[in-house]
């Protein structure tokens, strides 16, 4: 027998793995604001370096593609080259023996249409249309909050100023400190060193440490009147900035209380009312008139609003529920997540003591009702989802939180019917086991597995399979609607309806709070312009200069949660904030991209908007 040896990675192999790890971290945090042609040429060369060299398309073709892109970058490309790139891509994608070549060419092939504008610009004008993102976190934040600025203020112990600097772009610092999905952190340049700054943690720390920070002074009254329909994060953001600009703002809210989905969608253990009210009180203190329990469309005709105000902003959110479309969906014990959370938001409660609760869905709302059901005393809580756990759209920490609280996630089961007893009470959910299948639109789609239906006993079934928009009244009033979404351009302006603006969940469908805030901000600026102004809000504070600091790689301080055993029975806030020591350390990890790198050259800070 041949002599065998246990394989030990050579130093070189280990080195390559290390570089791969560095590269994947680097690429994972990429802002995407680079020249696509340059990036693709570099990627092709990297892919080619992984070629074993056996087959022609991969060994030769990938390099030829990169050369053609280089030619384009040097200003010598032609339209014929672009056609050649398409042809070569096809040959390498279709003609390679293994995935090394074919997948490399496919990556380019798929992107060619998306890069076309840039290709043409290189060909015709010899220049790139890409705009480099100077401060990655600020660019990643939909509301463009000055993150390095407020981190510097937290570092300096100027917590109230940090809150002011956040509010300059986003009037919901307390809310976002708790529940923002922090897209800023995905692009944090610190990831190139070790890991992203805990930006949300620092925001919460600033809010928790600042005490009451009053709203800034309102500009002199303009005499213009704006109606905002919907007191959720989008509507209130617009109302806040419009009011600060000096316009008279009236907010109409259909429900009894303000906050929209923040109050009626997100459970207290993630976002206590005290935090929400802190932001909303400041917003309303700028002189906004609030009318709750008024449904525009039902209680007041939309035409009346149109006649009374100079401009209207519709931010009604997405508050109705989607249907499952199975038998017995209307029977006792079946409810929608939206209805359940709304009832609780208005102060109601459910007694689930001793009951088996089954939730259908895989998003954040599904996790919210799963964990809420546990807190309402359910004997068992099961969340049924037709895809795999890794395909759930809920944040991983939400799923982990639910599991830690003794909720069960049952993946790959598609609801097929609801079983009831003779009194029409729910008794079980029947599900069809699924098998993960082909990738459709980037996600593996499930299909029915060759297994029999299964019965999951249930006293309560909660459907969390998506939200819809109550757009009927607005459609009737002439606002264009497509798939229940109110139609407006990227500036929130409704085409053909001067003065009417739409934003938030009711424009693009359910999304995150920071996207709603973004839309509110965009709408405020554009409503101001529409009414004939060009108001500049200068709400910021002076930012401490970037200090020199020596800081090597250092772990990221994460928030910890209350013990699952204790928290699962109460609606108290689950997450603990950073300690002062942790916050101080996180602040020193910030690389101050507003000062170093391209930030010092351009766009380090937008002082006014």
Question: Site residues (CB under 8 A) for another protein?
Answer: 33-35, 38-39, 42, 73, 75, 125-128, 130, 132, 545-550, 552, 595-596, 600-602
- What minimum distance in Å lies between the beta carbon of 73 and another protein? 6
- What minimum distance in Å lies between the beta carbon of 537 and another protein? 17
Q: What is the CA radius of gyration of the chain?
A: 27
| Distance from C-alpha of 166 to C-alpha of 281, rounded to nearest angstrom | 16
Which is it for strands 500-502 and 311-314: parallel, antiparallel or unpaired? parallel
| Distance from C-alpha of 606 to C-alpha of 122, rounded to nearest angstrom | 30
- What minimum distance in Å lies between the beta carbon of 250 and another protein? 29
Give the nearer residue to another protein in terms of CB position, either 406 or 549.
549
| Distance from C-alpha of 502 to C-alpha of 508, rounded to nearest angstrom | 10
Closest Cα to residue 314, out of 155, 470, 104? Answer: 470
Dihedral class, residue 412 (left if φ above 0, else alpha if ψ from -120 to 50, else beta): left
Task: Give 394-413 as a DSSP string.
Answer: S-HHHHHHHHHTT-EEE-SE
Give the nearer residue to another protein in terms of CB position, either 135 or 358.
135
Give the nearer residue to another protein in terms of CB position, either 38 or 400.
38
Which pair of tokens denotes residue 298?
């039902």
CA 248, 253, 256, 259 torsion-angle sign = negative
- What minimum distance in Å lies between the beta carbon of 67 and another protein? 15
> In which residue are the tokens 């060369």 written?
45
- What minimum distance in Å lies between the beta carbon of 368 and another protein? 41
Give the nearer residue to another protein in terms of CB position, either 348 or 548.
548
- What minimum distance in Å lies between the beta carbon of 124 and another protein? 9
Give the nearer residue to another protein in terms of CB position, either 124 or 489.
124
Task: Give 493-554 as a DSSP string.
Answer: BPTT-TTEEE-THHHH-S--HHHHHHHHHHHHHHHHHHTT-----------PPPPP------
- What minimum distance in Å lies between the beta carbon of 532 and another protein? 13
Burial status of residue 142 (CB atoms within 10 A of its CB: 0-12, 13-18, 19 or more): buried
Helices (H) and strands (E) in the chain, counts: 24, 18
Closest Cα to residue 290, out of 329, 328, 243? Answer: 243
Give the nearer residue to another protein in terms of CB position, either 126 or 396.
126
Give the nearer residue to another protein in terms of CB position, either 347 or 552.
552
DSSP reduced 3-state for 288: coil
Give the nearer residue to another protein in terms of CB position, either 253 or 594.
594
Give the nearer residue to another protein in terms of CB position, either 68 or 426.
68
Which pair of tokens denotes residue 577?
């904030």
- What minimum distance in Å lies between the beta carbon of 152 and another protein? 12
- What minimum distance in Å lies between the beta carbon of 518 and another protein? 25
């Amino acid at each position: 027998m041949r002599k065998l040896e246990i394989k030990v990675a050579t130093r070189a192999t280990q080195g390559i793995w290390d570089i791969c790890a560095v590269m994947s971290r680097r690429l994972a945090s990429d802002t995407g604001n680079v020249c696509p042609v340059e990036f693709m040429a570099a990627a092709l060369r990297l892919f080619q370096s992984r070629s074993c060299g056996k087959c022609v398309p991969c060994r030769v073709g990938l390099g030829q593609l990169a050369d053609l892109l280089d030619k384009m970058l040097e200003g010598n490309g032609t339209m014929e080259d672009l056609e050649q790139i398409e042809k070569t891509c096809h040959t390498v994608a279709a003609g390679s023996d293994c995935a090394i070549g074919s997948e490399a060419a496919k990556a380019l092939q798929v992107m060619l249409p998306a890069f076309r504008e840039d290709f043409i610009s290189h060909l015709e004008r010899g220049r790139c249309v890409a705009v480099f993102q100077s401060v990655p976190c600020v660019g990643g934040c939909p509301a463009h909050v000055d993150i390095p600025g407020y981190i510097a203020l937290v570092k300096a112990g100027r917590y109230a100023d940090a809150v002011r600097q956040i509010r300059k772009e986003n009037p919901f610092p307390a809310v976002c400190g708790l529940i923002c999905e922090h897209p800023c952190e995905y692009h944090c340049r610190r990831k190139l060193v070790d890991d992203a700054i805990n930006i949300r943690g620092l925001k919460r720390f600033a809010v928790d440490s600042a005490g009451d920070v009053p709203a800034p002074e309102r500009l002199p009254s303009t005499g213009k009147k704006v109606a905002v329909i919907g007191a959720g994060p989008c509507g209130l953001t617009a109302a806040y900035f419009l009011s600060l600009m000096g316009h008279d703002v009236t907010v109409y809210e259909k429900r009894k209380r303000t906050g929209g989905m923040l109050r009626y969608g997100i459970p207290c253990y993630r976002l206590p009312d005290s935090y929400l009210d802190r932001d909303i009180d400041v917003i309303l203190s700028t002189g906004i008139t609030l009318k709750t329990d008024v449904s525009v469309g039902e209680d007041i005709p939309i035409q009346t609003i149109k006649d009374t105000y100079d401009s209207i902003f519709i931010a009604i959110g997405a508050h109705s529920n989607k249907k499952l479309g199975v038998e017995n969906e209307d029977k006792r014990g079946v409810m929608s997540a939206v209805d359940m959370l709304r009832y609780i938001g208005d102060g109601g409660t459910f007694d689930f003591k001793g009951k088996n609760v089954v939730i259908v869905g895989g998003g954040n709302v599904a996790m919210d009702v799963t964990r809420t059901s546990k807190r309402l005393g359910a004997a068992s809580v099961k969340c049924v989802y037709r895809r795999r756990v890794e395909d759930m759209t809920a944040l991983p920490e939400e799923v982990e939180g639910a599991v830690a609280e003794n909720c069960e996630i049952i993946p790959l089961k598609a609801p097929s019917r609801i079983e009831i007893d003779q009194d029409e009470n729910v008794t079980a959910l029947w599900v069809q086991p699924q098998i993960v299948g082909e990738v459709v639109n980037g996600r593996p789609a499930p299909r029915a597995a060759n297994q029999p239906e299964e019965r999951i006993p249930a006293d309560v079934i909660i459907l969390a399979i998506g939200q819809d928009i109550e757009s009927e009244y607005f459609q009737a009033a002439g606002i264009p609607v497509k798939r229940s979404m109110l139609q407006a351009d990227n500036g929130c302006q409704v085409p053909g309806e001067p003065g009417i603006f739409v934003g938030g969940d009711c424009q693009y469908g359910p999304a995150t709070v920071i996207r709603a805030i973004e839309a509110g901000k965009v709408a405020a600026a554009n409503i101001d312009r529409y009414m004939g102004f060009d108001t500049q809000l200068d709400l910021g504070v002076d930012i401490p200069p970037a200090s020199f600091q020596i800081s090597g790689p250092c772990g990221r301080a994460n928030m910890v949660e209350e013990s699952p055993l204790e928290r699962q029975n109460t609606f108290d806030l689950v997450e603990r904030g950073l300690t002062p020591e942790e916050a101080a350390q996180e602040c020193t990890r910030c690389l101050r991209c507003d000062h170093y790198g391209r930030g010092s050259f351009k766009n380090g800070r937008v002082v006014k908007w």
